[in-house]
Amino acid sequence: MKVGELIVALALGYALLFPFNPRLAKAAGVFVVCLIGVVLLFWYLSCAPEGEPFYWLEGVSLWPTEILRLLAAGLSLYFLWVAHRYLRLNQAHVKRVFLLKTKGQMPDQDKPLPAAPGWKDWFKPLYWGIHYKQTHATATLLWQEHLLLTRDRWSRIIPQVLTFWFFGFVLFGMFGLPHVPFRGGTSRWVDVVVMVLSVGVFLLLIFFVVDA
């Protein structure tokens, strides 16, 4: 498939989606524009005298792999945003239903919650897990503890991602990196940057889902 055919296919997909769901089509439009820009950038890099040729099925080429990796990174970012948004909406829904069922008895919001740990505390093993300090005697205490634990979510996710990265680099250092059929220094650096970006975002999504 040529570059022009891919752009036409993306444009047609966007045009077919718009009448059914305008809001989704608007988000898809931004994604399609970014993807077309990436395809054109890779095609431009492939036109250099010593550049990596842009092939889909005609031969060995690095660029389709990079496009798929960027697609996976973009979807991971989108799923992160959707998951975070729906968790916040669910918290608001539970709070609203709880207040209605208790006839105006609000959780103890006047009592300030403990301060959230700073980024330096993320490297302390004490903050890597979930620790219950007391039994849940009332729904108010349970709700307050839920708010506290969900507020400190990134203090658990970031250290786990960094630990996973560390062991990954150790394994690559022991057994070596996989062979990449690149041509030219530009394609090599693009491959490294895109791989680090896509894997990093994907790890954030995995540990976010596990923590949630």
Q: What are the residue boundaries of the structural domains of the chain, listed by start?
A: 1-47, 62-211
pLDDT at 109 exceeding the cut of 50: no
Q: Which amino acid, residue 173?
A: G
Contact 48, 42 (CB under 8 A): no
Question: Sign of the C-alpha dihedral, residues 196, 201, 205, 208?
Answer: positive
∠ at Cα 13 (74, 199), nearest 5°? 15
Residue with tokens 């903050």: 127
What pLDDT, on a 0 to 100 scale, did the predictor assign at position 110? 43
Percentage, residues of the chain above pLDDT 70 = 50
φ/ψ (deg, to 5) at 25? -65, -35
Kindly report the pTM of this predicted structure.
0.63
The mean of the pLDDT values for the chain is: 70
SS3 call for 3:
helix
In DSSP notation, 51-62 reads: SPP--SSSS--S
Amino acid (one-letter) located at 183: R
Whole-number pLDDT of residue 29: 64
Query: Nearest CA to 127 among 160, 104, 100, 169?
Result: 160
Residue 63 · residue 1 · CB < 8 Å? no
Specify burial of residue 188 (Cβ count, 10 A radius: 0-12, 13-18, 19+).
middle
184, two tokens: 């030219």
DSSP letter assigned to residue 129: S
Instruction: Supply the pLDDT for residue 68.
Output: 83
129: number of Cβ within 10 Å? 7
In 3D, which of 149, 4, 153 has the Cα closest to residue 83? Answer: 153
Most confident of the following: 16-20, 142-146, 159-163: 159-163
